[in-house]
Amino acid sequence: MRILGIDPGFDRVGVCILEKVNNQYKYIFSCLISTDKSMHLYERIFEISRDLEQIIKKFEPQKAVIEKVFFSNNQKTAIDVAQSRGVICLECVKNGVEVIDVSPSQMKLAVTGDGNASKDQVKEMVFRQLKLKSSGKIIDDSIDAIALCLML
């Protein structure tokens, strides 16, 4: 089964593809979809949609695990991320990919055993579970996307 993990945003969207066979995960691909801050929000969301559609068509995942929006102090940012997340979910469903919603604490609990784990703890467990060597190939912002894939 091919799994698509997505850590949504509008500045940066972490994306990962893992292959799961017999409870073993194989790292296939990860990237960061970045948008230009000088662009209007809707142009940025369109760019995310277009790039994500290309990834879905290339790798043909069956399921997508997408992190829920966490409302922090900055409600405007959270609303913009929620708009982007809506388009991300739409793109998945439009392309026949089942969407699974996961909160940040659910992901941390599943990957590290602690729902309040730090980013470094999540990163360590991701590399350990996939038997990857730390390198510049995997962008830090994609770590959460990879961790989301490991939940299935």
The whole-model pTM stands at 0.93
As a whole-number percent, the residues of the chain with pLDDT over 90 amount to 80
Rounded to whole angstroms, the Cα distance separating 142 from 152 reads 17
Active site residues: 7, 67, 141
Give residue-wise pLDDT tens across range 47-102: 999 999 999 999 999 999 999 987 666 777 888 999 999 999 999 999 999 999 99
The confidence band for 6, taking pLDDT boundaries of 50, 70 and 90, is very high
Rounded to whole angstroms, the Cα distance separating 82 from 90 reads 12
The confidence band for 133, taking pLDDT boundaries of 50, 70 and 90, is confident
Asked if 17 and 29 count as a contact pair (C-beta separation under 8 A), the reply is: yes
CATH class of 2-149: alpha beta
Per-residue confidence (pLDDT) for residue 72, from 0 to 100: 64
